[in-house]
Amino acid sequence: MKIHRINPAQRWSDITVFNGIAHFVEVPEGDLGADIRGQTAQVLAQAELALAKVGSDKTRLLSATIYLTDFANLAAFNAVWDAWFAPGTAPSRACVKAELASPGYLVEIAFVAAAGEEYQA
């Protein structure tokens, strides 16, 4: 089966799809001075754009691994996360405390989603 790489670069691809399953990671790309709510909203908005690139949407998310720099931000993160999903559509998830690549990042999320028909083979 074909591996689809969206915007491949030397170090990573924006999205990698194999056998109809899309993998991608989002970090805040806008205002790094934003608090956890603002950075989470940025990441989720970026995720919606990434999902659209592979003919998918947030209802087709299968799992997410959430990396937070401080668990003191978990409640605020969860408030934004919970509001993003319609009831009954949240994926499985793990939440990990981690040091992230940029000191300005408060959150990073690795997503796995079912891609659209074009990426099924």
SS3 62: strand
Is residue 51, in this structure, part of any structural domain at all? yes
Tokens of 65: 């691994």
What are the tens digits of pLDDT across the range 3-12? 999 999 999 9
Question: How many domains does the chain fold into?
Answer: 1
Range of the domain at 112: 4-116
CA distance 41 to 117: 28
User: For the segment 66-95, what is each residue's pLDDT rounded down to a tens digit?
Assistant: 999 999 999 999 999 999 999 999 999 999
Its sign, for the CA torsion 29, 35, 41, 43, is: positive
Q: 46 or 30: whose pLDDT is higher?
A: 46
Prediction pTM value: 0.96
Residue 121 covered by a domain: no
Q: What CATH number is given to the structural domain containing 40?
A: 3.30.1330.40
> Does the pLDDT value for residue 121 go beyond 80?
no
Task: Tell me if 74 is assigned to some domain.
Answer: yes
